[in-house]
Amino acid sequence: MESSIASVGGSGDEGSQNFDDGSKPSYKRLTSVQTARLERFIRDCPHPDEVQRRQLAAETGLEPKQIKFWFQNKRTQIKNQHDRADNTALRIENNRIYHENIVMKEALKNILCPSCGGPPYPEGKHEHVIQKMQLENAQLKKEHDKVSALLGKYLEKQISPSDLQQALNPITGSSSQSPTLGNSQNPQIDGSSSCANRSLGKQIVDGGDHLSSKSSSRSEAVETSLMSKVAIDAIDELVRLLRVNDPFWTNNASAQDEKLILNHENYEKVFPRNNHFKGVNMHVEATKDSGIVSINCIQLVEMFLDSDKWANLFPAIITKAETITVLESGSQGNRSGALQLMFEKMHVLSPSVQPREFQFLRYCRQIESGVWVIVDVSYDTFQQKTSSFHSWRYPSGCMIQEMPNGHAMVTWIEHVEVDDKIQPHQLYKDIVHRGIAYGAERWIMELQRICERFACFYVENIPDADSPGVVNSLKGRRSVMNLSHRMLKIFCESLTMSGNLNLPHSNMENNGGVRLSMRKNTDPGQPNGMIVVAATSLWLPLHYMKVFEFFTDEKRRAQWDVLCCGNPAHEVAHISNGIHPRNCISIFQPFIPSESNALILQESFTNPMGSYVVYAPTDVAIMNLAINGEDSSMLPILPSGFVISADGKPKASLGAFNDVHVEVIEGSILTVAFQILESGSDGNDMPNMEYVSAVNTLLASTLRKVKDALNCNNLE
């Protein structure tokens, strides 16, 4: 077929190209069959090679070069068609956007201020609005600086605004209370968004009160996020310190024991810290200990997360505990994820040492099946202009591991920084600074003691070790134990010596001097009126167990107890309170013919960290109510007692010059405290000097009798 091949693109130019040898091809018009075959092939292979072109030529009866040119023209045609379609679509879209833009500009002119993006204001109010915006800007800047400073304080580094938003953004996940900082969809935070400008303008229009409320709500949301961040970082640190000894923990070789103390140099390489307190009175205490307690794990976790039960667990350590706010209650059944802000006041049961106060976050997490970690870390809220606390708790707390038979293994870490504005008395310096007074070992031993008490409380049968006495029922036994536990708590609280009195005649020639205080009591369960408290501490050259055995010896009670009036006393009831035979509750009846109605309730217990003998006078009528199983929570009781502990000094030291082993006298520290009620008080808050003098005389007389009985009269 002759006549030129029609250009696939329509022009025919590409179809009339010369061959490589300079000759012109013989042009043939393609039949419909040939065209259909080529179009089917180009859909699968737009760029055929030489072999494929020869094969097509053979199939269609065309020359290979005709095949080549046809494919070139077809590809060009397809490309041009696509370009024209794209251009048409873009032209239509551009025209639509152009018209939409015009409409939006016209609408914005009517509803927004062109300079700030907010609603327009009359000329007369413009300056007023500007002033409000400046105040809001200053307030936001101040709020940001405060958050940045606090976060820097906890993360131990300075952070930029962008870092601040990044740190706070992912803290609480999908919680409905979580602030979405750094998100351009949040009109309260992202200043670059026009939505933020509109929101700010609306706040200003609604007035200052609404603005302040929004700012306060935003501040609370940021603080909630910060508290979560601090708690999560703290528990991660604590888990590492709990599970790894080397290189963080070392044995205290200088104290000749196996107590674990923190290696501060290695610790700070991993967890850099800045001191929260400055000056010569600042010191750090960090200890670690573990022990097995006879209590169910989840029951113990629940007690830790209830401030009242927490204080009841450690009456000899915690004077006051309070849950300020609950941020998360945790998962039902295991309490994992529980987070709360708490306050506690701690003491060493001596007026010679200042109590410690902490405001801290407590966070609970179940890290694996049967294992919980509870962390405490100090936290100052935004509302506090300056911290009033002189104690700072770094990540501390415990790991509770489930064991067979309902027991639990508890590993405890106590890590605090203290600024002793008022130095502890010389008697207690070794105990406090060596981490004995508030260390992990004391927490573990107190927990073991109270768990033993729980076991005795819930026993179904009266043990054979307990004499039948006058308490013959389980209900009566538990009522007496509750009364005794409350007596111990009241005694411990009295030793914080709130409302100290500075009286010239209160000085005595002993190690600690006498501290006096007076309080007006209206609480149920204690006698109403003015109560005078007197306490002192002194060193004795005797092992603490010898002193404890002296005070718990029934036959020697008349040597020191003024309530016996020099007469012997008989134990009419005995209730076991722990494994040690002298960990018990006793009811004594003094042999006083003229006072046959008088009884003495006493609780005593001992462990290597300290011993206690607490007692209170009562009468037969009150005690019968408890013995018969009545509620004893309102029965009036006013305890006094003794606290005995080791002096905390090393048991041996080396001679400084002659390298001779020198034994140091093993001593103990005895704290004595008495409380008396002003009978016939007129209701005023002024101390009655007659009663102050009486309690001071009682204290001096008892100390003299104790030193006589223990052959310690040569003490200065």
pLDDT one-digit tens code per residue, 443-467: 999 999 999 999 999 888 877 677 6
Rounded to the nearest 10 degrees, what angle do helices 440-457 and 474-494 cross at? 150
pLDDT at 297: 94
State the CB neighbour count (10 A cutoff) for residue 592. 16
For position 703, which CATH number holds? Answer: 3.30.530
Please indicate, yes or no, if residue 138 is contained in any of the structural domains.
yes
Please indicate, yes or no, if residue 387 is contained in any of the structural domains.
yes
State the CB neighbour count (10 A cutoff) for residue 402. 15
DSSP state letter for 657:
T
pLDDT at 177: 36
Where would I find the H helices in 207-314? 208-243, 264-270, 297-304, 307-313
pLDDT of 415 above 80: yes
pLDDT band at 122 (very low <50, low <70, confident <90, very high): low
Q: Where is pLDDT greater, at 378 or 26? A: 378
**Which domain, by its residues, includes 152?**
123-230
If phi > 0 it is left, if psi is from -120 to 50 it is alpha, else beta; for residue 182 that is left
pLDDT of 390 above 70: yes
Query: Are both 469 and 447 inside the same structural domain?
Result: no
Q: Is the peptide bond before 650 cis (omega within 30 degrees of 0)?
A: no
pLDDT of 514 above 80: yes
Query: Are both 272 and 393 inside the same structural domain?
Result: yes
Nearest partner of 573 among 487, 472, 483, judged by Cα:
472
pLDDT band at 664 (very low <50, low <70, confident <90, very high): low
pLDDT of 168 above 80: no
pLDDT band at 340 (very low <50, low <70, confident <90, very high): very high
Please indicate, yes or no, if residue 715 is contained in any of the structural domains.
no
pLDDT at 238: 95
pLDDT band at 56 (very low <50, low <70, confident <90, very high): confident
pLDDT band at 599 (very low <50, low <70, confident <90, very high): very high
Query: Are both 559 and 487 inside the same structural domain?
Result: yes
Q: Is 649 exposed, middle or buried (0-12, 13-18, 19+ CB in 10 A)?
A: middle
- In whole angstroms, what is the distance from residue 391 CA to residue 285 CA? 11
Q: Where is pLDDT greater, at 53 or 482? A: 482
Please indicate, yes or no, if residue 68 is contained in any of the structural domains.
yes
Query: Are both 107 and 212 inside the same structural domain?
Result: no
**Whether 389 contacts 358, CB under 8 Å:** yes
Q: Which residues of 541-575 are buried (b: 16+ CB within 10 A; e: fewer)?
A: ebebeebbebbbeeeebbbbbebbeeeebebbbbb
Question: Given the DSSP bridges, would you call strands 408-419 and 396-402 parallel, antiparallel or unpaired?
Answer: antiparallel
What mean pLDDT, rounded, does the chain reach? 79
pLDDT of 133 above 80: yes
- In whole angstroms, what is the distance from residue 641 CA to residue 639 CA? 7
DSSP state letter for 254:
G
Q: Where is pLDDT greater, at 551 or 516? A: 551
**Whether 397 contacts 238, CB under 8 Å:** yes
200-207 CB contacts, 8 Å cutoff, 24+ apart: 200/118, 200/133, 200/136, 201/113, 201/116, 201/117, 201/118, 201/119, 202/118, 202/119, 203/136, 204/118, 204/129, 204/132, 204/133, 204/136, 205/119
pLDDT of 376 above 80: yes
Instruction: Flag the least confident range among 113-117, 252-256, 613-617, 643-647.
Output: 252-256
Query: Are both 208 and 249 inside the same structural domain?
Result: no
Please indicate, yes or no, if residue 618 is contained in any of the structural domains.
yes
Query: Are both 521 and 450 inside the same structural domain?
Result: no
Query: Are both 486 and 398 inside the same structural domain?
Result: no
Tokens of 479: 């009522």
Three-state SS for 232?
A: helix
Query: Are both 89 and 139 inside the same structural domain?
Result: no
pLDDT at 189: 32
pLDDT of 174 above 60: no
Query: Are both 354 and 474 inside the same structural domain?
Result: no
**Whether 375 contacts 362, CB under 8 Å:** yes
Please indicate, yes or no, if residue 236 is contained in any of the structural domains.
no
- In whole angstroms, what is the distance from residue 289 CA to residue 410 CA? 8
Which of 456, 486, 513 lies at the terminal end of a domain, its last residue? 456
Please indicate, yes or no, if residue 211 is contained in any of the structural domains.
yes
- In whole angstroms, what is the distance from residue 115 CA to residue 109 CA? 11
The number of folded domains in the chain is 4
Query: Are both 161 and 96 inside the same structural domain?
Result: no
**Across residues 490-517, what is the average pLDDT?**
66
Which of 456, 484, 502 lies at the terminal end of a domain, its last residue? 456
Please indicate, yes or no, if residue 531 is contained in any of the structural domains.
yes
